[in-house]
Structures are given as structure tokens and as C-alpha cells.
Amino acid sequence: MTTTTYREAMRRALREALAGDERVFLMGEDVGAYGGCYAVSLGLLEEFGPDRVRDTPLSESAFVGAGIGAALAGMRPVVEIMTVNFSLLALDQIVNNAAALRYMSGGQFHVPLVIRMTTGAGRQLASQHSHSLEGWYAHVPGLRILAPATIGDAYGMLAPALDDPDPVLIFEHGALYGMKGDLPDDPDPVDLTSAAVRRTGDDLTIVTYGGTLGTALDAAERLAGEGIGAEVIDLRSLRPLDMPAVLASVGRTHRAVVVDEGWRSGSLSAEVSARITEDAFYDLDAPVARVCSAEVPMPYAKHLEDAVLPGADDVVTAARSLGA
């Protein structure tokens, strides 16, 4: 075991990918000389050179499009977008091109592209840098959407994502980069199709992903002090969803709370809740509850940001409301 951080685990994965396959290269704003906005790529330019670690102009549409072209030509690009909010400037490239080219070519063309971006709030970066929009992308056929919430997944998701013949988007919650933990020296491969049970329990299922996993685990610990056993499911993959794992848990606990940092209206939590209701209605002893961010642009002020975000207290209150 090696004690490391979420950011260092991602850097290790990138370094191994660059060293192991000459087709792999990293491109994005400030990924080279600056070492990445969140220091994930620090030192990689010096190790692999400017052909493999490429600083790009401030034009998301241009460099995501360049990544798509490189993928079509046989390369394995890793494109970093500084924050999910900025990815909106590349929506045409991601949704109309990367996601659709395999279908529109009748399977003749694949786009083996990985796009990494930071998501989430909690760091006082205001509305332009703090929203959780991964649920928007999970709406789009042709994309695989990943949300690593642990150090193991931060390291282990990149390699299988690069092996995927179709585009993969990895959403890294900005509040997790400094998180510390142990990473095995020889980790097991990560299965991109399966959710993970992060805590077992028999009275309630809490479904979450990414930056709110810690919130859900804190809530489960508080509930345990009240004699309520909460099982915490980390979705890990937002498209496709591993609903069999969620439904199996709900089938045992008979209650569910879905925690999502996105806005409640039209959110990923709405999709998960609908599927639970459609497929496990007769297993439920109470309606599915949701805990989401308040429906406002993310504030800058710390006390307002904290008030907007879903917290452990909110999850505990939702759990209690279900009679768990």
C-alpha cells in the first residue's frame, strides 16, 4: 500500500498511460508548463515532452474537436477541460460529434476519446466554476460517464476508459483532489459497469456518487448512532447506470434516499428515483426521497455556498422522514 492523494492517484494513472502507449497524449488548458489547474499533470511535461503533454489555447470547442480528430486518426487522447462549466463551450463537439459519430457512420468510425473535467462546488469558486452538470451528459447516448469518488477509482478508471473504443467523460469533484488514502501498489482492475457498496445496512439505501459520497457516509454514520443501518451505494458510472445493484439494495432495505449535488429539477437523482419507482415500487415502504442542491446559481460566499449544497444533516433528515 502507498498513502497518496486523489490528485496523485490520477497523476500516476496518467503517467502509466503515457509510458505504456505511445498513442496516448494529454491536452488542455495549462496542463503542461503550469502542471494543470489542479496540479494533476504536474511534472508530466518534463517527463514526456510537449508532443505528449500539450498546452492548448483557451478554446474548448477547438481543442475538444482536435481531440476527436486525433481519436478518429488512431490516437488515444486525454482531453482536460478545466471545469464542467467550461465544457458547455464544447457541447457541439461532445454531443453532436463525439457521441454520434459511431452511430452516424453505421459503426465504421469510433472515437476512443477520454475527456476529464472538474465538477462540483465547496471551494468558493462561484457560479462559473462550481456547478454539477454531469447529469446533463448522462442524458446523451454514445457517451460513457464516470464519477470517481475514491482514490482507487481516481487511479483505476483511466486505463479501462482509454481502452473503450467510444468516448468516455470522467467527472472529478474538485473537493476530492486533496483527499488522502491508501492505494495498493498493484491495484485490481476497475470495472466501469458496476456500482459499489461503500457501507452495508439493512434499513435504508442511500444512492450517491462523486463528491457527495463522503456526505452520504457521514450521514450513514450518524444514522448508525440512532440504530438505523444505512447502505451506501456509490454509482461510479452515471451512464450506463448499474440499476440492478441499486434495486437489489432497495429490495432488502425497502427505503431509498438519492443524494445528488446537481439541481433537483431534471437531475440524475430524478432518473434514479424514477427507475427505482418503476422497477421496485412494491418493494418500497415509503416514497423515494431526494437530497439535492438548492436551485440557485452557486454563491461565492462560504455561508451561502454551504447552505445551498446537500449536507449530511439534510440526508439524515430525509432518512428519518421515511420512517427508517
Active site residues: 60, 129
Q: Residue written as cell 457521441?
A: 99
SS3 call for 245: helix
Q: Is the omega angle on the peptide bond into residue 148 within 30 degrees of 0, that is, cis?
A: no
Q: Are 111 and 167 in contact (CB under 8 A)?
A: yes
Q: How far apart are CA 241 and CA 194, in angstroms?
A: 8
Q: Which of 272, 278, 322, 276 is nearest to 292 (CA)?
A: 272
**Which alpha helices (DSSP H) does the chain contain, by range?**
6-20, 44-48, 60-72, 84-87, 91, 101-104, 134-137, 151-156, 158-163, 213-224, 243-253, 268-280, 302-308, 312-321
Q: Are 154 and 148 in contact (CB under 8 A)?
A: yes
| Alpha-carbon distance values, 286 to 188, 275, 307 (Å) | 38, 15, 27
Total Cβ atoms within 10 A of residue 106? 7
Q: How far apart are CA 141 and CA 240, in angstroms?
A: 9
Q: What are phi and psi of 285, to 5 degrees?
A: -100, -5
Q: Are 314 and 292 in contact (CB under 8 A)?
A: no
